[in-house]
Amino acid sequence: MATVWTYPPEILPLKIRAKGAALAAAADFLGNFVVVEITPPGLQNIGYRLYIVFAVLNIANAIIVWAFYPETAGTTLESVDFLFTISEEGLDEKKPWYSAAQWSVVYRAEEVMGIVEAERRSLAGIE
C-alpha cells in the first residue's frame, strides 16, 4: 500500500513530481473504490473463489513490480533525476531479450546507478 505514495514521487522529475504524486494517489483511491464495490457481489456470486482472484492479482502485481520497476534505494532524488534524464549515447547497446517489454530506463538503471555511485564516491573522497 505504501508503494503508491512513495515510488511515483521518487522516480518523477522534479518539475512534475507533485502532479505525478497526485495522479498516483487518485489511482490508489480509484482502485480501492473498485475493490470495495466489487467485493460484496463477488462474494455473493462466486464465494470464497473471489479471494483466489485477489491472490492471483496480487501475485501478478508483485511480479510486475519485481521485473519492471528500477531499484532506487540509497540514492538521492537528484540521482534519480539523473537516471531518468541521461541520454543513451555512451551506454552499452547490448540489450537483454526482455528489454522490449520494459521501460528503457529499467535496462539502463544498473549501469547508470553505477555511474552515480562512482560520482558520489569521488565527491566524498572514497576510493
Residue-wise pLDDT for 5-38, tens only, equals: 778 877 777 778 888 888 888 988 998 999 999 9
CA–CA separation, 7 vs 42, rounded Å? 31
Contact at 8 Å (CB) between 33 and 18? no
Q: Given this model, what pLDDT does residue 94 score?
A: 54
Q: What is the pLDDT of residue 21?
A: 86
pLDDT of residue 69: 77
User: Which tens digits make up the pLDDT trace of 107-125?
Assistant: 566 666 677 777 777 877 7
Residue 18, pLDDT score? 85
Average pLDDT over residues 55-78: 82
Taking a C-beta distance cutoff of 8 angstroms, is the pair 71, 109 a contact? yes
More confident residue, 16 or 57: 57
Spell out the alpha helix ranges (H) of the chain: 3-11, 17-46, 49-68, 77-85, 104-124
- pLDDT score at 11: 79
Question: What 8-state DSSP symbol labels residue 95?
Answer: -
Range with the largest mean pLDDT of 12-16, 50-54, 100-104: 50-54
Residue 38's alpha-carbon distances to 43, 48, 60, 106, 107, in angstroms, are 9, 14, 19, 34, 37
The answer to whether 60 and 97 are in contact (CB under 8 A) is no
φ, ψ for residue 94, nearest 5 deg: -70, 130
Give the separation between CA 117 and CA 113, rounded to whole angstroms.
6
What is the share, in percent, of the chain residues with pLDDT greater than 90?
25
Q: Report the largest interatomic distance among the alpha carbons of the chain, rounded to a whole angstrom.
A: 64
54: helix, strand or coil: helix
CB 82 within 8 A of CB 117: no
For residue 84, is pLDDT > 70?
Answer: no
